[in-house]
Amino acid sequence: MLKQEDIIQTYIALLVNRIQDLNGQAIDICNLYNCLTFDVIGDLVFGESFGSLEDTTLHVSFLLL
């Protein structure tokens, strides 16, 4: 788990940046946590992020295969 800490910290920092970018606007924290989870798991399992935190959209098209 220690070897993956840097990967996870990268996505945590991106999550914090997304929240700060909203400047006090209402947010759907559940969606943001789901995006975080998708990106972390994507990176740990497939070696690349799904990019969910970048546009705060869950990219689940791979689940439909």
Contact 41, 8 (CB under 8 A): no
Please give the pLDDT value at position 36: 94
Report how far Cα 21 is from the mean position of its chain's Cα atoms. Answer: 15
Contact 56, 14 (CB under 8 A): no
Q: Model pTM?
A: 0.81
What SS3 state is found at 27? coil
What are 23-59's pLDDT values in tens digits?
889 989 999 999 999 999 999 999 988 888 988 877 6
Say how far apart CA 63 and CA 38 lie, in whole Å.
12
pLDDT at 65 over 70: no
Please give the pLDDT value at position 63: 54
